[in-house]
Amino acid sequence: MIVKPAWVRPLAWIATAFALGVIVFGAFVRLSNAGLSCPDWPTCYGRITWPAHHTAVAAADAAFPGRPVAVHLAWRE
């Protein structure tokens, strides 16, 4: 009989919860058409959030000339 440590079951539940969160967040990003707004994951042009100010957008366009910033895809209201 194999004896499992007490921490295995909680760790499995935490991993399952994180995996479900990634799936739900990925579906949200896909359905809101925001998937192409940040080309270099996990940062967005080297920042935590997407660039919204005009100077930040211009700097991001200069830093990544082959990948233009699509701010209208980053957040829809």
Could you report the per-residue pLDDT of 22-34, keeping only the tens digit for each?
A: 999 888 877 877 7
- Report domain extents, the chain: 8-74
Catalytic one among 6, 48, 65, 77?
Answer: 77
Q: Any catalytic annotation for residue 77?
A: yes
pTM beyond 0.75: the answer is no
Tens digits of residue pLDDT in 14-60: 999 999 999 998 888 778 777 666 677 677 777 776 666 777 778 87
Judged against a pLDDT cut of 70, whether residue 61 lies above it is answered with: yes
Cα-only R_g, the chain: 19
pLDDT band at 71, cuts 50/70/90? low
Q: Give the separation between CA 60 and CA 71, rounded to whole angstroms.
A: 11
**60, burial (CB in 10 Å: exposed 0-12, middle 13-18, buried 19+):** buried
**Residue found under tokens 């000339």:** 65
